[in-house]
Chains A and B, each alone.
Chain A
Amino acid sequence: MSRNQDTRRDGLEGPPPEERQRPVGRRNGQGIRVDPEVEADHEPRRTTISAYVADEPGVLASVSGLFHRRQFNIESLTVGPTQNDGYSRITLVVEEPDPGIDQAKKQLRKLLPVVHVRELDADPVACELVILKIDGDEPDKVQAITEMYNGETLDAGPETITVQITGDEGKIDDALDAYAQFGIREIARTGQAALARGATETARVDETHT
């Protein structure tokens, strides 16, 4: 580092970029080293993440704010109380490449009220609820479909019929398709609630919090 009084130039001296040594490797846009020959960007996949959280004011805002801020693609979010007073379970369905899912879990865990986070296996026990209001012109046909999907009629009048269907996402999508022919006026859908299958714990409930 010295002052060079003789030369008048813009910038510094040294070999220009094209004369320098070059590395052989390359990374992809996610910072993962790849074989220069193969394109290896991760494909997004859909998964369910369950978070066990302290029931503090603002916790839902923190979680949704986090997902928005970090551009994690979120398909649904549900929240509800658990068997332990003061703690809730948040179920998130996200669609992201593996590194994004990993980040989402870790960033979620960093929020102070979040006690535990787990990604559920490919086949969790998952369920959602939909309520739909259908044109009442063909009550018998509507009733037949409701029975087919083990649904329930909540309200029926001369103009509209309101039914509820519960089940996994695929079943609800199918039911919606089936009702479409009668004219669906309104839909309210909850998004997924989920638990891990079998005896596997969904999210560890720490001793200090039970």
Chain B
Amino acid sequence: MSGEPKEARADADTETAPTEVETGADAVVRALENAGVEHLFGVQGGAIMPVYDALYDGAMSHVTMAHEQGAAHAADAYGVVSGEPGVCMATSGPGATNLVTGLADANMDSDPVVALTGQVPTDFVGSDAFQETDTVGVTGPITKANFFADDADAVGGDVGTAVALAEAGRQGPTLVDLPKDVTNGAAAEAPGEPQTPSTYRPPETADPEAVAEATDVLAAADRPVILAGGGVVKAEACEELRSFATDHEIPVITTMPAIGAFPEDHELSLEWAGMHGTGYANMAITMTDCMLAVGTRFDDRLTGGVETFAPDAEIIHVDIDPAEISKNVEADYPLLGDAAAVFEQIAAAMPRSPSADAWREQCRAWKEEYPMDYAAPEDDPVKPQYVVEAFDDATPDDTVVTSGVGQHQMWASQYWTFTEPRTWVSSHGLGTMGYGLPAAIGARIAADDDRSVVCFDGDGSFLMTCQELSVAVREDLDLTVVVLNNAAVGMVRQWQDAFFEERHVASEYPWVPEFDTLAEAFGARGFRIESYEEVESVVAEALAYDGPSVVDVHIDPEENVYPMVPSGGDNGRFALSEDQL
């Protein structure tokens, strides 16, 4: 993708000729238009006002968020669902620092996001001026690249580069810091097509000899698995994954960010592995003798302790980022390149299918031995898993599901059956509570109108960003927030039960708001579920409501997430209940 200009937007029939701009701010806007950007998420403020002003006559739509963190998460989710960079904007100082969590989140999950931040005029930089923050310094470690735009003539090019870099190679967040004198200053020339810098050259296809060696090993394996990571989705390689896996009948495990890359209802799917992954995925990932790992960074929530991670496996690691090779787990056969391209190379080079009948039989047996069956007696409070399944049953396959972070996130990802890529939108690497609702807003804007958007949130996570409901109401966005309310930061409470002798410090709330009432106060629809009898009708009503709604589900506060591999533990020794931890 490096260096290739993106297609320009077609409808450029504005009064000014496309080659002319007056100010740096015009150049910023033109650069975004050239890159095909259609939606922006942000919050106004002094230093960014010239850029906002330049949007006045333009065709891009802007969603004003309640908080800049929400803008960054909305842009992130927009990027995940659409595959195009999501763009967020903020003013200098607090506006920029409020973006930080969202940028760090996008950086961990390699999501394509572009942030534009206002900055004090260049003459004031370094003087501790009003609302001055060293935004480039602060965001350096959490962006793929960032730029301080110090020249009105070059600022359009900087923005174009930022957009191009966000989506090229290994995707990630980029930022351009825009001093007010630069955006107000006269710009001589309009920016051209967005381009990555000439020094940026991500690998495209893998060395054919290395591919031949790797495929020989894979074909000879007795217990092969494919581990599909988020890079498979990012590279649009899901079709290639599916045909390769089914042609050679190799069981598929995904990482959490890759949920949906391979249909979870397929017989070769073992769903996802890791800390709260399925028992069968964790057995298979432990016992495999050859792993084709594609677009994954072997995060510790996936591997558990590396000493016991796939210890019998030769690892073929396909990645576009050379720095991921042997970073956490040694790759026996590194293949550098774009996941879709390398999948095609592998498919072409594969000498034969592995003879793995016994292994597939074993994987099937594990599925039966470790079913994801939860106990849900009628007289208990409602089980969260049941609510997740009820929403899944009532919605089409292309429904987008977002989440906060905690137990509810795990139940949503475990009990929803994902069959399509870009339908599971969550905060994986950073684990950001509060991601769910702003992500649902970004997802709603990215997804076609006929698709549904459901956010599973925890009461704790929802309280971190629930002010964004005002945006969903103002913009009349059709989305459903399901708060799996256990009146606790449940995941913390679960760890206290397991590892801190049930000492519940700062994890249980003596009081939580009525989330249905709160929703109504915002102008959204509010619903409540307190018993099993209410589930079916409330699910139907909430989904049918054409606008934002919140369903406050009073779930069993005692419920915990299993299976569980304690952090740094052995995937093959996942606990099925607390006494096994």
| Chain A residues near B (Cβ < 8 Å) | 1-17, 20-33, 54, 57-58, 61-62, 65, 69, 99, 102-103, 106-107, 109-110, 112, 114-115, 206, 208-209
Tell me which residues across on chain A come within 8 A of B165, comparing CB atoms. Answer: 112
Contact A10 B323 (CB under 8 A): no
Q: Are B323 and A2 in contact (CB under 8 A)?
A: no
Are A17 and B573 in contact (CB-based, < 8 A)?
yes
Is A31 a contact partner of B576 (Cβ separation < 8 A)? no
Q: Is the CB of B580 within 8 A of A16?
A: yes
Partner of B574, one of A6, A13, A17: A17
Residue of A nearest to B380 (CB): A8
CA distance A15 to B280 in the complex (A): 11
Q: Determine if A23 and B312 form an interchain contact, defined as CB atoms under 8 angstroms apart.
A: yes
- Segment 373-395 of B: residues with Cβ below 8 Å from A: 373-378, 380, 383, 385-386, 389
A209: chain B residues within 8 A (beta carbon):
199
Known: A11-B578, A21-B287. A58 touches B326 (CB 8 A): no
Are the CB atoms of A14 and B370 closer together than 8 Å? yes
**B140 adjacent to A61 (CB under 8 Å):** yes
The total of chain B residues at the interface (CB under 8 A) is 61
Q: A21-B283, A23-B286 are in contact. Are A112 and B145 (CB under 8 A)?
A: yes
Contact A1 B306 (CB under 8 A): no
Do A17 and B575 touch (CB < 8 A)? yes
A90 to chain B, nearest CB (A): 15
Contacts of B244 in A (CB 8 A): none
Of the candidates A7, A9, A10, A62, the one having the most CB atoms from chain B within 10 angstroms of its own CB is: A10
Cβ contacts under 8 Å, A5 to chain B:
376-378
Residues B311 and A62 in contact, CB atoms below 8 Å apart: no
Q: Which of A10, A16, A17, A27 contacts B560 (CB 8 A)?
A: A10
**B575 and A29 within 8 A (CB):** no
Does B467 make an interface contact (CB < 8 A)?
A: no
In the complex formed, the residue of A with least CB distance to B390 is A3
Interchain CB contact under 8 A, A27 and B309: yes
Question: In the complex, A4→B145 CA distance in Å?
Answer: 50
Q: What 0/1 pattern do residues 299 to 319 of B give for CB contact below 8 A with A?
A: 000010011111110000000
Contact of A110 among B286, B310, B321, B389 (CB under 8 A): B321
Query: CB within 8 A of B576: which of A14, A61, A112?
Result: A14
Whether the pair A3, B376 counts as a contact (CB closer than 8 A) is yes
Q: How far is the CB of A14 from chain B (nearest CB, A)?
A: 4
* Contact string against A for B residues 552-573, beta-carbon threshold 8 Å, 1 for contact and 0 otherwise: 0000000010110000000011
Partner pick for A12 among B148, B383, B572, B576, CB 8 A cutoff: B576
Residues of A within 8 A of B378 (CB): 5
A4 touches B375 (CB 8 A): yes
Q: Is the CB of B377 within 8 A of A20?
A: no
Query: Does B372 sit at the interface, judged by CB under 8 A?
Result: yes
Q: Is the CB of B373 within 8 A of A29?
A: no
Q: How far apart are B279's CB and chain A's nearest CB, in angstroms?
A: 6
Flag if B576 contacts A11 (CB, 8 Å). yes
Query: What is the distance, in angstroms, from B334's C-beta to the closest C-beta of chain A?
Result: 11
| CA gap between A8 and B559 in the complex, in Å | 12
What's the minimum C-beta distance from A31 to chain B, rounded to whole angstroms? Answer: 4
B140 in complex: contacting residue of A3, A21, A65, A102, CB < 8 Å: A65
Q: What are the residues of chain A within 8 A of B576 when measuring CB–CB?
A: 11-14, 16
Residues of B within 8 A of A (CB): 136-137, 140-141, 145, 148, 165, 197-200, 279, 283, 286-287, 298, 303, 306-312, 321-323, 325-330, 369-378, 380, 383, 385-386, 389, 415, 417, 560, 562-563, 572-578, 580
17 contacts between A and B (CB under 8 A): A1-B373, A3-B383, A4-B374, A5-B378, A7-B377, A9-B577, A13-B371, A14-B279, A21-B287, A23-B311, A25-B311, A26-B308, A27-B329, A30-B306, A31-B328, A62-B140, A110-B321
A9 touches B375 (CB 8 A): yes
- Tell me if B580 and A106 are in contact (CB < 8 A): no
Q: A31 is contacted by which of B330, B374, B377, B563 (Cβ under 8 Å)? A: B330
Contacts of A33 in B (CB 8 A): 311, 330
Which residue from A1, A8, A69 sits with its C-beta under 8 Å from B377?
Answer: A8
CB distance from B393 to the nearest CB of A (A): 11
Residue of B nearest to A111 (CB): B145
Beta-carbon contact of B200 and A112 below 8 Å: yes
Residues of A within 8 A of B321 (CB): 110
Residues of A within 8 A of B580 (CB): 11, 16-17
CA distance A3 to B377 in the complex (A): 9
Across the interface, which residues of A come within 8 angstroms of B329, CB to CB? 27, 31
- Which 3 A-B pairs give the minimum distances between C-beta atoms? A11-B577, A25-B311, A106-B323
The docked-state distance in angstroms from the alpha carbon of A12 to that of B367 is 13
Known: A27-B329, A58-B148, A112-B200. 8 other contacts (CB 8 A): A11-B575, A12-B562, A16-B576, A31-B306, A31-B326, A54-B199, A115-B199, A209-B199
Contact B311 A27 (CB under 8 A): yes
Q: Nearest Cβ in chain A — how far from B343, in angstroms? A: 23
List B contacts of A9 (CB < 8 A).
375, 577
- Using known A-B contacts A10-B578, A16-B576, determine if residue A1 contacts B415 with beta carbons closer than 8 Å: yes
| Set of chain A residues within 8 Å of B145, measured between Cβ atoms | 112
Whether B374 pairs with A20 at a CB distance below 8 angstroms is no
Q: Is B370 a contact of A29 with CB atoms below 8 Å?
A: no
Selected from A10, A13, A28, the residue in CB contact (under 8 A) with B373 is A13
Q: Which residues of A contact B286 (CB under 8 A)?
A: 23
Q: Are B373 and A106 in contact (CB under 8 A)?
A: no
B287 to A57, Cβ gap below 8 A? no
Known contacts A20-B283, A106-B323; A112 and B140 CB within 8 A of each other: no
B307–A29 contact, CB under 8 A?
Answer: yes
**Given A26-B311, A65-B140, A115-B199, A20-B572 contact (CB < 8 Å):** yes
Q: How far is the CA of A17 from the CA of B572 in the complex (A)?
A: 7
Contacts A10-B577, A12-B279, A15-B369 given: A61-B389 contact, CB under 8 Å?
A: no
CB-CB < 8 A to B303: which residues of A?
31
Residues in A with CB closer than 8 Å to B323 are: 103, 106-107, 109-110
Q: Is the CB of A57 within 8 A of B371?
A: no
Q: Which residues of A contact B137 (CB under 8 A)?
A: 58, 61
Cα A112 to Cα B283 in complex, Å, equals 40
Least distance between A68 CB and chain B CB atoms (Å):
9
**CA–CA, A172 to B27, complex, Å?**
54
For A108, the closest partner residue in chain B by CB is B323
Q: Which residues of A contact B386 (CB under 8 A)?
A: 3
A102–B287 touching, CB < 8 Å:
no
B311 contact set on A, CB distance < 8 A: 23-27, 33
Chain A nearest CB, measured from B255 CB (Å):
16
Nearest opposing residue in chain B for A2, CB measure? B373
Least Cβ–Cβ distance between B204 and chain A, in angstroms = 17
Q: Once the chains are docked, how many angstroms separate the CA of A65 from the CA of B572?
A: 37
Residue among A12, A13, A112, A206 with the highest chain B CB neighbour number at 10 A? A12
Which among A3, A17, A61, A107 has the highest number of chain B CB atoms within 10 Å? A3
